[in-house]
A and B are shown apart, each in its own frame.
Chain A
Amino acid sequence: ILLTQSPGTLSLSAGERATLSCRASQSISGNYLAWYQQRPGQAPSLLIYGASTRATGVSDRFSGTGSGTEFTLTISRLKPEDCAIYYCQQGGSSPITFGQGTRLEIK
């Protein structure tokens, strides 16, 4: 399954809301769609799984929605530490695939 993320780069100010999109080439079984945050120089970390369930310890500023082929990650009240690349990943069909990432810049 091919995952296409948009936009490629998002530049917003602190306090604003970010909306990141992930579109799948075919419906994702079980809505097994996850989101990861990768800060510069760090390993990715899990934010959301099952399309909408926040991982342990993840701020409620992060929320995931969607089903089928269209998924969204919303980050509210942006903070400087949200500067990162965000990846979606599907686990409904083998092999696991990742989107190409959305770079979020905080102005």
Chain B
Amino acid sequence: VQLVQSGAEVKKPGASVVLSCKASRDDFTNLYMHWVRQAPGRGLEWMAVVTPNAGSMSFAQRLRGRLTMTSDTSAGTVFMAVNSLTSDDAALYFCALGGPQHLEIWGQGTLVTVSS
């Protein structure tokens, strides 16, 4: 299984960014797709999880309201939108596939830069 993420993004403060994550296996929809981000030189921050098949989602409390997740199961792709970007959202964003308790397969990451 491989996860391939979309390319780097540069956005202005207040804008939105949409990130994508494509899985190489058809049955990924039965697994859990997590999103984790890492600010420059910082640790890992869990953001959200979706089960594409069930449509169930869960978000980190402090990001709730600014995140939207959708899935295109026929294309094996999950999307996450982050709205109302600030400089604090500048980070490397990872998608990761696994179970509800741990993250087994990670994408290569998408760098999001927020700059006016």
Contacts and interface: CB of A to CB of B under 8 A. Distances in A.
Interface of A: 30, 32, 34, 36, 38, 43-46, 49-50, 55, 87, 89, 91-92, 94-101
B103 A89 contact: yes
B102 A49 contact: yes
Interface in B52-109: 58, 60-61, 94, 96, 98-109
Contacts of A95: 46, 58, 60-61
Contacts of B103: 34, 36, 44, 46, 89
A27 B2 CA distance: 33
Contact of A91 (B36, B102, B106, B107): B102
B44 A30 contact: no
A73 B50 CA distance: 29
Given A94-B58, A95-B61, A101-B43, A43 B101 contact: no
Contacts of B104: 46, 49, 55
B28 to A, nearest CB: 16
**Which of under 10, 10 to 19, 20 to 34, or 35 or more describes the interface residues of B?**
20 to 34
Nearest to A92: B101
B22 interface: no
Closest 3 CB pairs of A and B: A91-B101, A32-B101, A34-B102
Given A30-B101, A46-B102, A55-B104, A100 B94 contact: no
Contacts of B43: 87, 98-101
A49 B105 CA distance: 13
25 contacts: A34-B101, A36-B103, A38-B44, A43-B106, A44-B94, A44-B106, A46-B103, A46-B104, A46-B106, A49-B101, A49-B104, A50-B101, A50-B102, A87-B43, A89-B44, A89-B46, A91-B99, A91-B100, A92-B101, A94-B58, A95-B58, A95-B61, A96-B49, A98-B36, A101-B43
